[in-house]
Amino acid sequence: MSIYDFNAKTINGEEVSLEKYKGEVLIIANTASKCGFTPQYKDLELLYKKYKDRGFNVLGFPSNQFAEQEPGNSSDIQKFCEINYGVTFDLFEKGDVRGKDAQPLFKYLSEEKEFKGLDLNHPSGKILNAMLKEKFPETLVGNGIKWNFTKFLINRDGEVVGRFEPTTEPLDMEEEILKLL
């Protein structure tokens, strides 16, 4: 099984097979417009523009599951991303990324790469961990997505080769991306 076995709806409502991305190195991230990690859109776009000609792509999947930080509709989300961060990589319809109603792709991603903890040496890792323990302790159990901007690195064969929690900045993934290009 690989990510190519899944379909997803684009932000414009078009059903696409992820086989469309066959042969590309990908970052698949769950996103939100009103999160402390939202500025990561900028660096995801930077990586996309820098490496798209070498077969690299970013797929953004908005979700309102974490403290309702993605309240907008598809049009609102797309406009926000374009105006504020110049996003040109592919965005998909808003949906759940954890739990029983999670999109099948995110169930698969979470099963393929387990949660190994937040980086508690990183200041935002400490803050996120404390907030989750206090307000959303159930999210720390299991391998499900913990918060917005969890990023999965996919190789050219559609295999999940890395999981990066929200506290990992996209540019900190560049070395891993280059190994796959």
Domain containing 118 — which CATH number? 3.40.30.10
Distance CA 61, CA 29 (A): 6
Annotated catalytic, 81? no
Number of CB atoms found within 10 A of residue 131's CB = 13
| 87 domain residue, yes or no | yes
| 181 domain residue, yes or no | no
| 70 domain residue, yes or no | yes
Whole-model pTM: value is: 0.95
Instruction: Show the tokens assigned to 106.
Output: 């995110």
| 180 domain residue, yes or no | no
3-class DSSP assignment, residue 120: coil
| 38 domain residue, yes or no | yes
CB 132 within 8 A of CB 140: yes
For every residue of 83-106, DSSP letters joined together read: HHH---SEEB-----SSTT--HHH
How many structural domains comprise the chain?
1
pLDDT value of residue 88: 97
Radius of gyration (C-alpha) of the chain in whole angstroms: 15
Containing structural domain, residue 119: 3-175
Given the residues 35, 46, 140, 171, the one annotated as active site: 35
Number of CB atoms found within 10 A of residue 109's CB = 25
Share of the chain above pLDDT 90, in %: 87
CB 116 within 8 A of CB 129: no
| 141 domain residue, yes or no | yes
Distance CA 144, CA 96 (A): 11
| 23 domain residue, yes or no | yes
Distance CA 172, CA 87 (A): 19
Q: Which residues sit opposite 21 in a β-bridge?
A: none
pLDDT per residue as tens digits for the range 95-107 = 999 999 999 999 9
Mean pLDDT of 77-98: 96
pLDDT value of residue 139: 87
Which residues does 68 contact at the CB level (< 8 Å), separation at least 6? none
| 36 domain residue, yes or no | yes
Residue 38 has pLDDT above 90, yes or no: yes
Mean pLDDT of 122-143: 89
